[in-house]
Amino acid sequence: MKRTRIVDLLKSVDYGQEVLVKGWVRTRRNSKSVGFIALNDGSTIKNIQIVADMEKFSDDLMKKITTGACLSVTGTMVQSIGSGQAVEVQADKIEVLGTCDDDYPMQKKGQSFEYMRQNAHMRLRTNTFGAVMRIRHNMSIAIHKFFHDHGFYYFHTPIITASDCEGAGNMFQVTTLDLAKVAKDGEVDYSQDFFGKHVNLTVSGQLEGELGATALGAIYTFGPTFRAENSNTPRHLSEFWMIEPEVCFIDLPELMDLEEKFIKYCVQWALDNCSDDLEFLNNMIDKGLIERLKGIVNTEFVRLSYTEGIEILQKAIRGGRKFDFPCNWGDDLSSEHERYLVEEYFKKPVIMTHYPKAIKAFYMKIDEQNPVYDGKEMDQTVQGTDMLFPQIGEIIGGSVREENYDKLVNEIEERNIPMKDLWWYLDTRRFGSCPHAGFGLGFERLILFITGLQNIRDVIPFPRTPRNVEF
């Protein structure tokens, strides 16, 4: 007989039908004459209840049916009289495919997230992590569908690269050199390294993505990125997934429209396709989750310049609001400032633009006019956008790109970025340069928002953070 997945079984009301189900025991309880086994196969958050008549099965077999054990059950679908779901399976035959030792780490319910992280190899079997992983899958599909439907091509950028897109120097080096020997010699000869030069794991696929966009019109990347920042926060990973669309012939307002439309599409997709998992998370983790998701879809995001943002923050400070970090014009906003704007002042997502160029990357297009703040003309600003979300802070970073060759070279020189490493990028500005723009969405930050979880380590199967790689 063919196995039926529990998600499909629960949809059917074919009472009397014989079925085969396989999965892992979530719980087991007994009455005098029957055993009730909640079985889960990962296809849904929901379990199927297996009813086992004690007389039919040996004590020896029943002893092996403990939390975590893997079973194959053949039985008859019957109407469930207990609360919960409509159907259950009256077992005719139970086979234990895998017994579960009694030190199974996921035996007890209600363990802390920290405990789960320490048992990351088994936490995927829990309800919470099952829900998060199914949502991750669904959001990946949503992202591909959105871009495919809007005429973007999925473009694969390299993981090993010789360039540093963000210019922040937070890169993991890739080498096959014998480091012990290098240490002894006291000198590194990169010409002897595998690629004959100094290379890294990518921090962003954007620069190569621009090569794709200026050939195909509109592309998006969706791949792993790596950052060797020593940021031990609930929002940072050393290895995370990023989605980076890049589009020709759009300006700043069109870029912001795309960002807003895209993120709302993703949230709506979760509401439409992940309702069981969201309901579970709403009940168990965050009672305001579904309301918050619905709110996002129905809200028009605020669009605000950095200078206006600073004005609002300064006014709050004058009114007695205290922040840990300063926020004078020119400072990078810290997450307390971003969260003040989003959660307290506007109470909705904010797309902030026109940042001082000194705090943004070299490729962002410079504004024609300098802003005036406090009656004074300030430094140049750029057409960069950060989308700030409640509970998350920055979820998207993007910009219009500087397409003018001379202006771009000027920025690269001013920032002492080695020009020779970027010749191929600069060529896009020499051979048919065009206006274009793009952004990067941190996939795990999106999943944090959609699931209502608090720590980014809990929305990726195998988190990598400073001093933390178990397997």
Where do contacts with Mg ion occur on this chain (CB under 5 A)? 397
Does residue 250 touch ligand 4AD according to CB under 6 A? no
Residue 353 touches which member of Mg ion, ligand 4AD, none, C-beta under 5-8 Å by kind: none
- The 395-434 contact track toward ligand 4AD, x by CB under 6 A, reads xxxxx-----------------------------------
Based on the shown chain and the rule CB under 6 A, indicate whether residue 242 belongs to the binding site for ligand 4AD.
Answer: yes
The distance of closest approach from Cβ of residue 422 to ligand 4AD in the complex, given in angstroms and rounded to an integer, is 14
Neighbours of 18 (CB within 10 A): 12
The pattern of x and - marking residues 137 through 176 that bind ligand 4AD according to CB under 6 A reads ----------------------------xx----------
Decide if residue 452 touches ligand 4AD (CB under 6 A): no
Q: Are 337 and 313 in contact (CB under 8 A)?
A: yes
Which sign does the torsion angle of CA 286, 290, 293, 294 carry? negative
**Residue 134 or 401: which CB sits closer to ligand 4AD?**
401
Nearest to ligand 4AD of 37, 255 (CB atom): 255
Structure tokens that stand for 402 in this block: 């500087």
Which of Mg ion, ligand 4AD, none sits in contact with 77, Cβ below 5 to 8 A by type?
Answer: none
Give the residue with the Cβ less far from ligand 4AD, 24 or 220: 220
Of the two residues 26 and 436, which places its CB atom closer to ligand 4AD in the complex? 436
| Angle 125-291-241 from CA coordinates, rounded to 5° | 50
Least Å from the CB of residue 255 to Mg ion: 14
DSSP 383-426: EEEEEEETTTEEEEEEEEB---HHHHHHHHHHTT--GGGGHHHH
Residue 357 binds ligand 4AD (CB under 6 A)? no
The least CB distance from residue 406 to ligand 4AD, in Å, is: 22
Short-list 124, 98, 97, 67, CA closest to 461? 124
Q: Select from ligand 4AD, Mg ion, none the partner in contact with residue 130, using the beta carbon and a kind-dependent cut-off of 5 to 8 Å.
A: none
CB neighbour burial string for 36-62, b if at least 16 within 10 angstroms, e if fewer: ebbbbbebbbbbbbbbbeeeeeeeeeb
- Dihedral over Cα of 466, 467, 468, 469: its sign: positive
CB of 385 to ligand 4AD, least distance (A): 9
339 touches which of ligand 4AD, Mg ion, none (CB within 5 to 8 A by kind)? Answer: none
Q: Which part of the chain contacts ligand 4AD (CB under 6 A), choosing from 143-151, 240-248, 297-305, 315-323? A: 240-248
Q: Which amino acid, one-letter code, is at 62? A: M
Q: Does 445 bind ligand 4AD (CB under 6 A)?
A: yes
Minimum distance from residue 435 beta carbon to Mg ion (Å): 21
Which of Mg ion, ligand 4AD, none is residue 331 near (CB under 5 to 8 Å by kind)?
none
Q: What is the DSSP letter of 357?
A: G
How many amino acids of this chain bind ligand 4AD (CB under 6 A)?
22
Is position 131 an interface residue for ligand 4AD (rule: CB under 6 A)? no
Q: How far apart are CA 104 and CA 82, in angstroms?
A: 29
The first and second tokens of residue 390, run together, are: 């409640």
- Six token digits for residue 450: 């959609």
The residue ranges of DSSP E strands in 150-217, in sequence order, are 153-154, 160-161, 173-174, 199-201
Left if phi > 0, otherwise alpha if psi is -120 to 50, otherwise beta: which for 393?
A: left
- Nearest distance, CB of residue 172 and ligand 4AD, angstroms: 12
